[in-house]
């Protein structure tokens, strides 16, 4: 009996020693996603990580301790094209069951670290976001320095959906939405830049992640006249197919308007010089709300009009999933001052459309469709202060009346007075006929 107890105790001690020496978690991969102003470093792990971290200076380093973890890959040999991260390596760990990872940095950076649960095609991850605010500010100053000149270009912000750690939807053949959207976005930007009077700004130009809320911010800082987000749809079954175009829902628009009203320091971004005379009093806040409401109303109206143009062009090159613009509560469409739309170019979950979306010629046709729709709209209604608006003043503008249109609607659309339209066309009443061609006077 005594020997049996001794044997059990010995076995228990051996088990404790083995458990102490065996790490339950392990690092399986290292991935770096560099962008112009930041880098995302991702450690792929078999289990949810337990971690702590601190920084060191001279030289700048970020040190991460992962408890109950072993390193199964050579970190130093992994591909690295980030200008912010010189090297990723192991260092002496706190104990035998943990691992210490060191990121050698090129300068002092802002750091954000968080864990992510498994999401296909990835397992558990530890994400390290490194950003250089000074570089971002300098780059933004260069990007926006020429936007205030007279007869400026019309700025179109092109947003390639997803990117980097976020692949978006994945097709049955392994196609990533993030790659499809970036390819189409680049083709669209190229078409825009080739057109005198238009200029494209891309929210991302490579395979890196940008949060949905940051994307419209990039458009605003570049003083964009239109924001277009490119995506590829997906469903749980392969049958659904076709393109669709989305605009912001009225419910989300109203909530966003309230959110912007609460952030009084940002009124100047939307109201320009008008914000300087608006004080934080009850009556003047009503004025600010009225101005913001007008801005949102114009944004929604323009978004809907352009989205109809896009649908009309898309149906010439692909099937449509929805024949009318759809409204949704989407984070990338929440700018109250910038007309915004999201274009779903097809279902990557549909085998036929996945094949088409991987075909360069089809991507080019999709880009051309969106470009033609945008060009068509801005040729008719160029923003004030742009080259196209200046050219339009010297040209005779006309409009053929369609079903449901009235003088008041046309006056609002072209930003002119009803009486000016009547005077330019010798109209004695407010009645117009379908098919009637009207001369639209200059603004």
Claim to verify: residue 412 and residue 336 sit in the same structural domain: no
Rounded (5°) CA angle 218-221-226:
70
**pLDDT given at position 287:** 52
The listed range with the strongest mean pLDDT (20-29, 142-151, 239-248) is: 239-248
Has residue 11 got a pLDDT over 70? no
- pLDDT tens sequence across 81-138: 889 999 999 999 999 999 999 999 999 999 999 998 887 778 899 999 998 877 554 4
Claim to verify: residue 105 and residue 218 sit in the same structural domain: no
In a domain, 255, yes or no: yes
Nearest to 227 by CA among 297, 157, 296, 295: 157
**pLDDT given at position 385:** 87
Q: What DSSP line would sit under 137-182, residue for residue?
A: HHHHHHHHTTTTSTTBPEEEEEEE-SBTTB---B-TT--BHHHHHH
**pLDDT given at position 270:** 44
Of 82, 102, 135, at which residue does a domain stop? 135
Return the CATH number at 54: 2.60.40.3500
Is 388 buried (19+), middle (13-18) or exposed (0-12) by CB count in 10 A?
Answer: buried
Has residue 182 got a pLDDT over 90? yes
The listed range with the strongest mean pLDDT (198-212, 289-303, 391-405) is: 198-212
Return the CATH number at 295: 3.40.630.40
And the tokens for 237?
Answer: 């079954």
Claim to verify: residue 250 and residue 351 sit in the same structural domain: yes
In a domain, 164, yes or no: yes
In a domain, 119, yes or no: yes
Q: Which residue has the higher pLDDT, 72 or 52?
A: 52
- C-alpha separations of 422 from 241, 246, 398, 433, 438 in Å: 46, 35, 13, 13, 9
Claim to verify: residue 173 and residue 232 sit in the same structural domain: yes
Placement of tokens 């009309």 in the chain: 312
Confidence of residue 2 (pLDDT cuts 50, 70, 90): very low
Q: Which residue has the higher pLDDT, 271 or 22?
A: 22
Give the separation between CA 74 and CA 297, rounded to whole angstroms: 55
Claim to verify: residue 346 and residue 204 sit in the same structural domain: yes
**pLDDT given at position 63:** 97
Q: How many domains does the chain have?
A: 3
Has residue 306 got a pLDDT over 50? yes
* Percentage, residues of the chain above pLDDT 90: 49
Of 84, 108, 135, at which residue does a domain stop? 135
> For residue 426, what are the domain limits?
396-440
- pLDDT tens sequence across 327-382: 877 777 777 778 999 999 999 999 999 999 999 999 999 999 999 999 999 998 89
Instruction: Report DSSP state, residue 229.
Output: E
pTM, two decimals, is 0.72
* Percentage, residues of the chain above pLDDT 70: 79
Claim to verify: residue 109 and residue 207 sit in the same structural domain: no
């Amino acid at each position: 009996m005594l020997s049996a107890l001794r044997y059990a105790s010995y076995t228990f001690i051996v088990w404790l020693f083995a458990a102490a020496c065996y790490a339950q978690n392990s690092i399986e991969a290292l991935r770096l996603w560099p962008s112009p102003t930041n880098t995302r470093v991702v450690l792929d792990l078999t289990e949810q990580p337990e971690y702590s971290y601190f920084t060191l200076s001279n030289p700048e380093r970020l040190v991460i301790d992962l408890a109950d973890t072993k390193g199964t890959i050579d970190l130093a040999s992994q591909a690295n094209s980030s200008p912010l991260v010189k090297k990723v390596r192991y260092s002496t760990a706190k104990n035998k069951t943990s691992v210490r990872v060191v990121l050698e940095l090129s300068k002092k950076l802002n750091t954000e670290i968080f864990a992510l649960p498994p999401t296909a095609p990835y397992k558990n991850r530890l994400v390290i976001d490194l950003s250089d605010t000074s570089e971002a500010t300098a780059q933004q100053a260069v990007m926006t320095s020429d936007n205030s000149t007279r007869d400026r270009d019309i700025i179109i912000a092109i947003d390639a959906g997803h990117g980097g750690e976020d692949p978006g939807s994945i097709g049955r053949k392994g196609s990533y939405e993030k790659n499809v959207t970036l390819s189409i976005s680049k083709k669209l930007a190229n078409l825009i830049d080739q057109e005198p009077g238009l200029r494209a700004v891309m929210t991302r130009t490579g395979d890196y992640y940008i949060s949905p809320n940051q994307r419209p911010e990039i458009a605003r800082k570049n003083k964009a006249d239109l924001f277009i987000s490119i995506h590829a749809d997906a469903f749980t079954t392969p049958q659904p197919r076709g393109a669709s175009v989305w605009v912001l829902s009225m419910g989300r628009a109203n909530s966003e308007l309230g959110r912007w009203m609460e952030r009084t320091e940002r009124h100047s971004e939307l109201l320009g010089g008008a914000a300087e005379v608006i004080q934080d009093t009850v009556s003047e806040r009503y004025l600010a709300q009225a101005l913001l409401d007008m801005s949102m109303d114009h944004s929604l109206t323009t978004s809907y009009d352009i989205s109809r143009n896009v649908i009309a062009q898309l149906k010439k090159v692909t099937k449509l999933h929805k024949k009318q613009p759809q409204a949704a509560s989407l984070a990338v469409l929440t700018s109250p001052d910038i007309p915004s739309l999201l274009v779903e170019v097809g279902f990557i979950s549909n085998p036929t459309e996945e094949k088409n979306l991987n075909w360069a010629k089809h991507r080019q046709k999709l880009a051309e469709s969106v470009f033609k729709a945008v060009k068509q709209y801005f040729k008719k209604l160029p923003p004030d202060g742009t080259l196209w608006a200046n050219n339009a003043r010297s040209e005779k503008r006309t409009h053929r009346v369609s079903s449901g249109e009235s003088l008041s609607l046309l006056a609002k659309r072209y930003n002119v007075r009803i009486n000016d339209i009547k005077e330019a066309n010798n109209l004695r009443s407010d009645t117009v006929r379908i098919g009637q061609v009207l001369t639209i006077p200059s603004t």
